[in-house]
Amino acid sequence: MKLTLGFSPCPNDTFIFDALVNKKIDSEELDFDVILEDVETLNQWALEGKLDITKLSFPAFFQSLNKYILLNAGSALGKGVGPLLISKEKFKSGNNNIDQKSIAIPGLNTTANLLLSFAFPDAKEKIPMIFSSIEDSVLSGKTELGVIIHENRFTYQQRDLHKVLDLGEYWEEKMRVPIPLGGIAIKRTIDKQTSLRIDKLIRESIEYAFVNYPLITDYVKAHSQTMSEEVMKQHIDLYVNNYSIDLGKEGKEAIEKLFEIFLSIREPGEVHSEEELFI
């Protein structure tokens, strides 16, 4: 059986899937047509039901519950790993007026945007763009603020940018659960037995990668050419953890709480809220 599989070229995703897609583990007669794309493209494709298995942000997953169900393995959750709201100038405490400012975001369907809405529900002037352009948008004055994700959270200070708020830290303080950033979902039309086999294979792929870590494989390096190995390792250390191997009770609780927040800010009827979230 051949299935389409989409994930991002970021080190955390290539680290997770390297052993599976490059046949370092037994794929049990399953074959994958692999597509690497930025997460907002994958989010949009999920809304269209384009791929059989896909990495996606949780808001995109919540909007495509009629098409996809979440696997236990492969998700990105954690503590201290959330997106950051940044500015060009330092903000004085109590004089921020965030709601009136233009904010670059890495896509409308991203968890970063949902966490921004959670912290600043009245912020309306959001400008979606590819995540790698957000720092430049803030530096050039195209937008007054930006929400950064991925490797940018490790490097923004090198460009004299300033943290306004750690949106993940804000979530953790209010909700007392890890930050759900992204997950791996599979089409509901795929039979349960096959879905569970794929879930097991992703878990085995991660375990294989960890056995050989901190080795950074050529596959990870090939898709992270602008990053130093140190930044690649920071990426993996923050975004691949025990929740990636298996969501467990705590991981599922965090996703359910994020879903509740998502439902509270969506128009009634927009989301298939009656569907099961987890395989």
Pairing mode, if any, of strands 31-36 and 2-7?
parallel
Q: What residues contact residue 185 under an 8 Å CB cut-off, 6+ apart?
A: 46, 53, 54, 56, 61, 64, 68, 69, 70, 71
Last residue of a domain, one of 175, 200, 228: 175
Q: What is the pLDDT of residue 85?
A: 96
Q: What is the pLDDT of residue 5?
A: 98
Q: What is the pLDDT of residue 152?
A: 82
Q: Does 70 share its domain with 189?
A: yes
Residue 278 within a domain: no
Q: Does 111 share its domain with 140?
A: yes
Q: What is the pLDDT of residue 97?
A: 85
- pTM exceeding the 0.95 threshold for the entire prediction: no
Q: What is the pLDDT of residue 268?
A: 56
Residue 279 within a domain: no
Q: What is the pLDDT of residue 91?
A: 76
The residues annotated with a catalytic role in the active site are 150
Q: Does 164 share its domain with 203?
A: no
Q: Does 20 share its domain with 71?
A: yes
Last residue of a domain, one of 175, 203, 227: 175
Cα gap 48→129, rounded to integer Å: 20
Q: Of 52, 39, 49, whose CA–CA distance to 3 is shortest?
A: 52
Q: What is the pLDDT of residue 92?
A: 66
Q: Does 94 share its domain with 121?
A: yes
pLDDT-flagged residues of the chain (< 50): none
Q: What is the pLDDT of residue 215?
A: 93
Residue 273 within a domain: no
Q: Does 14 share its domain with 64?
A: yes
Q: Mapping DSSP to helix (H, G, I), strand (E, B) and coil, where does residue 172 land?
A: helix
Cα gap 66→143, rounded to integer Å: 35
Q: Can you give the residue range of the structural domain that contains 118?
A: 84-175
Q: Does 217 share its domain with 171?
A: no
> With the CA atoms of 243, 247, 253 and 258 taken in that order, what torsion angle do they form, in degrees rounded to the nearest 10?
70
Q: Does 88 share its domain with 170?
A: yes
Q: Does 163 share its domain with 40?
A: no
Last residue of a domain, one of 124, 149, 175: 175
- Report the domain count for the chain: 2
Q: Does 116 share its domain with 165?
A: yes
Residue 61 sits in a domain whose CATH number is 3.40.190.10
